[in-house]
A and B are shown apart, each in its own frame.
Chain A
Amino acid sequence: DAKTTQPTSMDCAEGRAANLPCNHSTISGNEYVYWYRQIHSQGPQYIIHGLKNNETNEMASLIITEDRKSSTLILPHATLRDTAVYYCIVRPRTLNFGNEKLTFGTGTRLTIIP
């Protein structure tokens, strides 16, 4: 999986938009950007993914730069329950049999402040 760089930690006020950046300057043309989050002492949870267009779902929005070398995950109205570690991962959408494993970095620890 291609390497990603994320800030170690961030704070955001409750009710404001949380913007989490991710740098993936070596991303390949067939690689998607995925975001997962891990709430303390739980398993990671899928949030959103995208290739080159901006994406939005009920949880978040994903903004990918035109050159695809970086992206931003946006939680539009952060709540205390959004406090978690957020992981940015880049890899092909599907892989040949035998290469499906998912690689996680250390992510960004997001703390929502009341």
Chain B
Amino acid sequence: DGGITQSPKYLFRKEGQNVTLSCEQNLNHDAMYWYRQDPGQGLRLIYYSQIVNDFQKGDIAEGYSVSREKKESFPLTVTSAQKNPTAFYLCASSPRTGAAYGYTFGSGTRLTVV
């Protein structure tokens, strides 16, 4: 079945370490997104990419980096520069036309800094 796979589901990181969250999709979607969600809050956009080898900053990109070397993959690196990285991270993809009913989300990665 087509969908988005995020791994790992739970991730623990020591302060000062970089960590990479994986996101893979087999929906043949052009666009991919990373969101961050804090307890009781809505989703905030970190980065998004409409095509391979191109990506744009979202609303809260500081302390994060991404790459889009393959259409299927959009990994997110949480760097040591991110002051408060503990959060729930969601990856999504959509067809290039951006029809809002076409968004598919992964099941998320919960990152905890220890």
Contacts and interface: CB of A to CB of B under 8 A. Distances in A.
Interface of A: 32, 34, 36, 41-46, 49, 87, 89, 91, 93-95, 97-107
Interface stretch (B11-19, B40-48, B64-72, B74-82): B40-48
B100 A91 contact: yes
A95 B88 contact: no
B103 A102 contact: yes
A93 B99 contact: yes
B22 interface: no
Given A41-B88, A43-B106, A100-B50, A95 B98 contact: yes
Given A41-B108, A44-B105, A100 B45 contact: no
B96 A100 contact: yes
B84 interface: no
A100 B108 contact: no
B74 to A, nearest CB: 13
Interface string B24-67: 00000001010100001111010010100000101000000000
A104 B50 contact: no
A89 B100 contact: yes
Contacts of A43: 4, 90-92, 105-108
Contact of B43 (A34, A41, A91, A104): A104
Contacts of A99: 98
